Amino acid sequence: MRLPAQTAGAPNTVAAPAAAPAPTAQSAAAPNGGIEDRISRFATIWGRAIFPVTATSLTRPEFERHLLPLTRTLTEALHARPFDAAVAQRVGAELVAVHCTDPEALAGTLGVIESYLVLYCGPDGLEGAGVEATAEYHSRCARLQHAIAAGYARALRERTLSEQEAIARSALTARTDAQQALHASEERFRAVFEGAAVGIGIADLDGNVLEVNDTLLQMFGGLEGHVRSRNVSEWGHPDDTPHVWRMYGELVRGERESYRVEKPYYRHDGTVLWTNLTVSLLRDADGKPQYQLALMEDTTERRLLNLRLRYEATHDALTGLPNRTLFFERLEKALSGAGGDRYGLCYLDLDGFKAVNDSLGHSAGDRLLVEVADRLQSCATGPGEVVARLGGDEFVALTTGSDTEEQVTELAVRILTALSTPIRLEGRELSVRGSIGIVEGRAKERTPAEVLRSADITMYRAKAAGGNRFEFADAEADARAITRHGLTNALPAALERGEFFIEYQPLVHMRDGTVHGAEALVRWSHPQYGVLGPDRFIPLAERTGLIVPLGRWVLEEAVRQARVWQHEHGGAALRINVNLSPTQLHHPGLVADTVAVLEKSGLAPGALCLEVTESALIGADDELLEPLRRLAELGVDIALDDFGTGYSNLANLRRLPVSVLKLDRSFTRGMQQQPADPVDLKIVEGIVALAHSLELAVTVEGVETGAQAAQLRALGCDTAQGWYYARPGAPDRIHTLSLSDAVPTPS
Amino acid sequence: MERPAWAPPGIDISVPSVSRIYDYYLGGSHNFEVDRQAARRAMEFMPGLPKIMQANRAFMRRAVRHAVAEGVTQFLDIGSGIPTFGNVHEIAQAASPGARVVYVDHDPVAVAHSHAVLLDDEHTGVVAADLRKPNEILAAPEVGRLLDFDKPVALLLVAVLHFLEDADHPYDAVAQLRDALAPGSLLILTHASYEGIPLTEEVAGGAVGVYRDIRNPLVMRTGEQIAHFFEGFDMVEPGLVSMPDWRPDRSEDVEDGETPEDPYAFSGYGGVGRKA
Asked if B262 lies within 8 A of A52 by C-beta distance, the reply is yes
Whether the model clears a pTM of 0.80, i.e. scores above it, the answer is no
Which of B31, B108, B253 lies at the smallest CB-CB distance from A174? B108
Q: Which residues contact A213 (CB under 8 A, 6 or more apart)?
A: A193, A194, A196, A199, A200, A201
Instruction: Check which CATH number belongs to the domain holding A382 and give it.
Output: 3.30.70.270
State whether A234 and A287 are in the same domain.
yes
Phi, psi at B272, each rounded to 5°: -130, 135
Residues in chain B with CB shorter than 8 Å from the CB of A44 are: 255
Contact A523, A531 (CB under 8 A): yes
Q: Write the ipTM.
A: 0.88
Q: How confident is the model at residue A673 (pLDDT cuts 50, 70, 90)?
A: confident
Put simply, the answer to whether A171 touches B109 (Cβ < 8 Å) is: yes
pLDDT for B4: 41
Q: CB within 8 A of B101, min separation 6: which ones?
A: B74, B75, B76, B77, B88, B89, B92, B93, B123, B124, B125, B146
Give the whole-angstrom CA distance, residue A577 versus residue A246: 85
Give me the half-sphere count of Cα atoms (radius 13 Å) on the Cβ side of residue B32: 17
pLDDT above 90: residue A567: no
Give A55's contacts in chain B (Cβ within 8 Å).
25-28, 50, 53-54
Query: Å from B33 to nearest chain A CA?
Result: 11
Using CB atoms and an 8 Å cut-off, which of residues 235-254 of chain B contact chain A? 248-249, 252-254
More confident position, A84 or A7 = A84
Contacts of A45 in chain B (CB under 8 A): none
| 8 A C-beta contact, residue A63 and residue A47 | yes
Residue A115 — left, alpha, or beta (φ > 0 → left; ψ -120 to 50 → alpha)? Answer: alpha
Helix (H) or strand (E) holding B122: none
Kind and range of the H or E element at B183?
none
Give the tens place of pLDDT for each residue, B87-140: 899 999 999 999 999 999 999 899 999 998 888 888 999 999 999 999 999 999
Distance CA A307, CA B35 (A): 65
For A185-192, which contacts have Cβ atoms below 8 Å and span 24 or more sequence positions?
A185/B4, A185/B6, A185/B7, A185/B8, A188/B6
Residue A747 pLDDT > 50: no
Work out the pLDDT band at A397, boundaries 50, 70, 90: very high
Q: DSSP state, B181?
A: S
| CB-CB under 8 Å, A163 with B30 | yes
Name chain A contacts of B43, Cβ cutoff 8 Å: none
Q: Band of the pLDDT at A11, cuts 50, 70, 90?
A: very low
| Statement to judge: residues A462 and A539 lie in one domain | no
Amino acid letter, A208: N
C-alpha span between B29 and B36 (Å, rounded) = 10
The whole-number average pLDDT for the span A2-12 is: 40
**Closest chain A residue by Cα to residue B58:** A57
For residue B197, the one-letter residue type is: I
Q: Which of A48, A62, A149, A156 is nearest to A101 (CA)?
A: A156
Q: Residue A720's beta-bridge partner residues?
A: A508, A700
Query: B1 and A283 in contact by Cβ < 8 A?
Result: yes
* pLDDT value, residue A542: 84
**Is pLDDT at A24 greater than 60 in this prediction?**
no
Geometric angle at alpha carbon A456, from A451 and A457, rounded to 5°: 100
The overall longest dimension of chain B from CA atoms, in Å, is: 60
| A383 within a domain of the structure (yes/no) | yes
A575: left (phi over 0), alpha (psi -120 to 50) or beta: beta
The answer to whether residues A433 and A467 touch, using CB atoms and an 8 Å cutoff, is yes
User: Which residue ranges make up each domain of chain B?
Assistant: 51-196+224-245+263-275
The closest CB to that of A174, out of B32, B111, B248, belongs to: B111
Q: Is A469 helix (H, G, I), strand (E, B) or coil?
A: strand
DSSP labels for A120-146?
HHS-TTGGGS-HHHHHHHHHHHHHHHH
Q: Count of domains in chain A?
A: 4
User: A11 lies in a domain?
Assistant: no
Per the prediction, chain A carries an average pLDDT of 85
Q: Which residue of A has its CA nearest to B22?
A: A55
A428 plus A502 within the same structural domain: no
* Average pLDDT for A441-462: 89
Nearest of B73, B63, B38, B99 to residue B190 by alpha carbon: B63
For residues A522 and A661, membership in a common domain is answered with yes
A390 with A372: CB under 8 angstroms? no
pLDDT the model gives residue A180 = 87
Residues of chain A contacting B28 with CB distance shorter than 8 Å? 55, 101, 163
pLDDT at A12 over 70: no
Chain B residues inside the 8 Å CB shell of A54:
27
Percent of chain A at pLDDT > 90 equals 38
Question: Would A185 be classed as within a structural domain?
Answer: no
For residue A659, give every residue at least 6 positions away whose Cβ sits within 8 Å of its Cβ, in sequence order, or none.
A632, A637, A638, A639, A695, A696, A697
Asked if A345 and A234 sit in the same domain, the reply is no
Do A524 and A537 contact (CB within 8 A), yes or no?
Answer: yes
- Chain-centre distance for alpha carbon B159: 4
Please tell me which of the candidates B85, B109, B248 has its beta carbon nearest to residue A99.
B85
Element (H, E) at A21: none
Neighbours of A214 (CB within 10 A): 14
Could you tell me if residue A10 is inside a domain? no
A389 bridge partner residues: A395
Domain presence at residue A6: no
| Residues A167, B57: C-beta atoms closer than 8 Å | no
Structural Rg of chain B based on CA atoms: 18
Least confident among A78-82, A187-191, A422-426, A732-736: A732-736
A466 and A535 housed in the same domain: no
The span from the CA of A517 to the CA of A507, in Å, is 5
B1: nearest CB among A59, A182, A282: A282
In this complex, do A167 and B1 lie within 8 Å of one another by their Cβ atoms? no
pLDDT grade for A17, boundaries at 50, 70 and 90: very low
Q: Do B30 and A175 touch (CB under 8 A)?
A: no
Angle at A63 between CA A59 and CA A67, to 5 degrees: 165
Closest Cβ–Cβ partner in B82, B108, B254 for A178: B108
Question: pLDDT per residue over A286-315, tens digit each?
Answer: 788 999 999 999 999 988 898 888 888 889
Chain B residues with CB-CB distance to A185 below 8 A: 4, 6-8
Nearest to B229 by CA among B174, B150, B153: B174
Could you tell me the residue range of the domain that residue A207 belongs to? 196-304
**Residue A11 vs residue A645, higher pLDDT:** A645
| Burial of B264 per CB tally in 10 Å (0-12, 13-18, 19+) | buried
Q: Judge whether B264 is closer than 8 Å to chain A, CB to CB.
A: no
Percent of chain B with pLDDT over 70: 92
E strand or H helix that includes residue A459: helix A448-464
- A128/A240 Cα distance (integer angstroms): 109
Q: What are phi and psi of A641, to 5 degrees?
A: -85, 155
Which of B60, B113, B262 to mutate against chain A (most A CBs within 10 Å)?
B113
The residue in chain B having the minimum alpha-carbon distance to the alpha carbon of residue A180 is B8
The answer to whether residue A432 scores a pLDDT higher than 90 is no
| Chain A hits for B20, Cβ within 8 Å | 167
The amino acid at A360:
L
Q: What is the CA radius of gyration of chain A?
A: 63
Across chain B, the runs of DSSP E, i.e. the strands, are: 74-78, 100-105, 124-128, 154-158, 186-191, 233-235, 269-275
A435 and A507 co-located in one domain: no
The DSSP line for A534-585 is HHHHHHHHHHHTTHHHHHHHHHHHHHHHHHHHHHHTTT---EEEEEE-HHHH
State the pLDDT confidence band at A571, using cuts at 50, 70 and 90: low
Q: Which of A664, A667, A578, A577 is nearest to A614 (CA)?
A: A664
Same domain membership, residue A274 and residue A335: no
Which of the residues in chain B have pLDDT under 50?
1-8, 252-255, 257
Element of type H or E holding A97: helix A87-97
Q: Which residue of A has its CA nearest to B83?
A: A167
- pLDDT, tens digit (0-9, with 9 covering 90-100), for B66-75: 999 999 999 9
* Mutation for B interface: A41, A57, A156, A291, most B CBs within 10 A: A57
**Does residue A345 form part of some domain?**
yes
DSSP, collapsed to helix, strand or coil, labels residue A395 as strand
Q: B109 contacts in A (CB within 8 Å)?
A: 167, 170-171, 174
The C-alpha angle with vertex A646 and arms to A522 and A670, in degrees rounded to 5, equals 85
Half-sphere exposure of B15 toward its Cβ, with a 13 Å CA cutoff?
13
Residues A204 and A256 in one domain: yes
pLDDT for residue A514 is more than 70: yes
**What architecture is domain B51-196+224-245+263-275?**
3-Layer(aba) Sandwich (3.40)
DSSP state of B113: H
Residue closest to A272 by CA, chosen among A241, A230, A235, A312: A235
Give pLDDT, residue B83.
87
> Could you read off the pLDDT of A180-238 as tens digits, one per residue?
888 888 888 888 888 888 999 999 999 999 989 999 999 988 877 778 878 888 888 98
- 10 Å CB burial of residue B197 (0-12, 13-18, 19+) is buried
Q: Are residues A358 and A295 in the same domain?
A: no
Q: What is the 3-state secondary structure (H, E, C) of B75-100?
A: EEEECCCCCCCCCHHHHHHHHCCCCE
A216-219: long-range contacts (C-beta < 8 A, 24 or more apart)? A216/A296, A219/A273, A219/A275, A219/A296, A219/A298
Which letter does DSSP use for residue B123 in this model?
Answer: T
A531 and A661 fall within a common domain = yes
Distance separating alpha carbons of residues A416 and A372, to the nearest angstrom: 11
| Helix (H) or strand (E) segment spanning residue A612 | strand A608-613
pLDDT at A247 over 70: yes
- Say yes or no to pLDDT of A746 above 60: no
DSSP letters, A186-217, are: HHHHHHHHHH-SSEEEEEETT-BEEEE-HHHH
* Helical pair A678-693 and A706-715, crossing angle rounded to 10 deg: 40
With respect to residue A187, please indicate whether it lies within any of the assigned structural domains: no
pLDDT digits (tens, 9 = 90+) for A574-626: 889 999 988 888 888 899 999 999 999 888 998 999 999 887 877 677 888 88
Q: Mean pLDDT lowest for which of A125-134, A148-157, A342-351?
A: A125-134
Which residues share a beta bridge with A424?
Answer: A429
CATH of the domain at A222: 3.30.450.20
- Per the CB < 8 Å rule, is B1 touching A52? no
Strands A199-204 and A289-298: antiparallel
